[in-house]
Structure 1
Amino acid sequence: RIADDDLLIMLSDHGFERLEKDVYISYLLRQEGFLQFKQGEDIVLNNICYGTKAFVLDPARIYLNLKGKFPCGTVGPADSEETLQQLENLFGSLRIDGRAVVRDIYRKEQIYSGPYLEDAPDLVLVGAQGFNLKANVKAERLTDKPIFTGKHTQDSAFLIVRGLSDEGIVPDMPAVSDVKGIVEKIKGRT
């Protein structure tokens, strides 16, 4: 039983949604000339060749192949912004069956901070509902019907707070990031 002055917080670090298609970002980068591999070598990230401007690591983290940062780096400081814009346009316009594939595109400065900012991916993609964005450098097509029917999401994390007698402590659409503020408000009341 929960009394009026009890606090119960339940949360999940992810939600779930229906999975319709896997989308292979490396395939798109190869088709558009951003990602190239050495001829006659295995298609693995260690065999990226000098023409590569960008590559992807799961989950949908795009790195510019920067000179001085990565072996075979080709993108210089003067070309970084233009390359980022080209990638943002490519992913922002990607449609499958008439639907946008990418819901959000973040530059690293929008979601990362601190002393290791330079190690962060240059872009982070968030798939639209039903699309699972994957790196898979060996993919031979843009999409595939997965064997799974569901996937994790960053949305739909849930928070349930019960037993609070006054309103305004819990947002209408709470998220994991709200927990700290809710607990601080509760502590301030006691």
Structure 2
Amino acid sequence: MRLVALFLLVASHAWLAHAYMIEVQAAKKECFFEDLHVNDKMTVTYQVGGGGHLDIDFWLADPKGVAVAKHLKQSTGTATATATTDGRYEYCFSNEMSTIADKMVSFNVHGVIYMSDAPVAPLEREIRDLASGLQSVKDEQEYIVVREKTHRNTAESTNDRVKWWSIIQAVVVFAVVGWQVYFIQSFFEVKRVI
């Protein structure tokens, strides 16, 4: 019965795990909030998937505005906060350092609701470990999807540049051949003075 109650508790708080893809405009920041209670744990993982140098500023702050985690110009990162007070925890992605490039950011937010330190049955502990492992696999899979997209975009861009460079080279070669034929013909022209 206790195992069923644990499962229902986890299922009823499935909203604690989110996956998002946002575009942070140049010279702007995007902030999000999560309401936590004492001893709740929240983890934010993020990755920049496109734009500029693939870097972004990130910070996670408690309800008093004190930074719990701060990453500057990172392409990927993870920040974890354990709530010391009840309140709204804020996490922001800032692209204020860039004046031109918009950034695509993929991020996940997952949390753990605090449970008392009462003795835990081995099966419950295994279920919690399994849930944590599944979350790690999900985060890694989303990381791989974003990296694949970035690499595909790079490959397609390189392919386009190679194609256009080859076309330009062919046009230049034909222009030089045409000019050479015209120039050599001019040597063999007989100029008569009448």
TM-score, with structure 2 as normaliser: 0.26
Structure 1 or 2: more strand by fraction:
2
When Rg is computed on C-alpha atoms for both structures, the one with the higher figure is: 2
Which has the higher relative contact order, 1 or 2, with Cα contacts under 8 A spaced 6 or more apart?
1
Structure 1 or 2: more helix by fraction:
2
TM-score, with structure 1 as normaliser: 0.26
